[in-house]
């Protein structure tokens, strides 16, 4: 089977909620020499985008999305050990701590976990605050790391929780912490225009790009 066919198979197993098929296709991708990043970006994420669009069009409902997410997680069990070996660069000149989190009100964690894994694989020390994280917890964590090189890598998958990114920047300013951290925000609805509008430092469209952007920010 050719590379594109395997990527299409990964996509289709997500769309059809085929959990065991998705895991098997992930293994097939690795066996065919496809990198885990390519399998995710060219296969699994494409499937997730289709699932999201179908949900928006009321062609499928929440239980189906949950099954697609399970299929993605099953594939990630196979891909994560390989992902952890994907070196793009070295932790931004000296050890940088990346505080990773999903904004309050949002439990979408697939992209967040991917970004955390890839940053960790590339020399960043990860403090993973998980999902549905209140801004106060983020501020507390930054204060604990005073004097160290710190960046924030926050995710929002919903337009509602994305507003929390703006509030996070405001809170950083109020606490006098804005100049002590670099801030990268991501997630499907996040655009460069939004980043400029709220005064964050950067965004990235996928986990590999997130590593490149983070390394550049921490130079």
| Contacts with ligand HCB, residue ranges (CB under 6 A) | 45, 48-49, 51-52, 55-56, 62, 65-66, 69, 105-112, 114-115, 153-155, 157-160, 184-189, 204, 206-207, 210
Q: DSSP letters along 38-85, please? A: HHIIIIIHHHHHHHHHHHHTTSS-HHHHHHHHHHHHHHHHHHHHHHTT
- Look up tokens 């990268």; give the residue: 184
CB of 99 to ligand HCB, least distance (A): 10
- Rounded to whole angstroms, the maximal C-alpha distance in the chain is 56
Instruction: Specify the DSSP element, H or E, that contains 182.
Output: strand 181-186
Q: Does residue 101 sit in helix, strand or coil?
A: strand
Instruction: Select the residue whose beta carbon is closest to ligand HCB and give its number.
Output: 111
Closest to ligand HCB by CB, 2 or 63 = 63
CB of 136 to ligand HCB, least distance (A): 19
What contacts 31, CB < 8 A, 6 or more positions away? Answer: none
Closest to ligand HCB by CB, 1 or 197 = 197
Closest to ligand HCB by CB, 1 or 192 = 192
Closest to ligand HCB by CB, 21 or 111 = 111
Contact 206, 45 (CB under 8 A): yes
CB of 75 to ligand HCB, least distance (A): 11
CB of 88 to ligand HCB, least distance (A): 13
Distance CA 208, CA 37 (A): 7
Closest to ligand HCB by CB, 9 or 101 = 101
Distance CA 137, CA 149 (A): 18
CB of 6 to ligand HCB, least distance (A): 18
Closest to ligand HCB by CB, 55 or 194 = 55
CB of 27 to ligand HCB, least distance (A): 19
Backbone angles phi, psi at 181, to 5 degrees: -135, 150
What contacts 53, CB < 8 A, 6 or more positions away? Answer: none
């Amino acid at each position: 089977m050719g590379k594109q066919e395997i990527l299409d198979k990964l996509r289709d197993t997500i769309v059809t909620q085929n959990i065991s098929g998705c895991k098997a296709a992930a293994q097939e991708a690795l066996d065919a020499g496809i990198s885990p990043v390519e399998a995710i970006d060219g296969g699994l994420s494409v499937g997730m985008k289709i699932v999201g669009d179908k949900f928006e069009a009321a062609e499928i409902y929440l239980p189906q999305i949950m099954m697609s997410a399970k299929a993605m997680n099953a594939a990630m069990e196979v891909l994560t050990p390989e992902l952890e070996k994907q070196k793009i660069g070295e932790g931004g000149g000296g050890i940088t701590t990346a505080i990773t989190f999903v904004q309050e009100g949002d439990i979408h964690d697939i992209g967040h976990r991917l970004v955390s894994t890839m940053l960790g694989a590339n020399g960043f020390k990860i403090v993973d605050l998980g999902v549905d994280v209140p801004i106060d917890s983020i501020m507390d964590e930054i204060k604990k790391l005073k004097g160290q090189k710190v960046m924030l890598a926050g995710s929002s998958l919903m337009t509602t929780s994305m507003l929390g990114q703006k509030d996070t920047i405001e809170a950083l300013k109020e606490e006098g912490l804005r100049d002590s951290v670099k801030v990268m925000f991501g997630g499907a609805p996040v655009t460069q225009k939004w980043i400029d509008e709220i005064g964050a430092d950067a965004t990235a469209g996928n986990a590999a790009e997130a590593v490149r952007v983070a390394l550049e920010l921490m130079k």
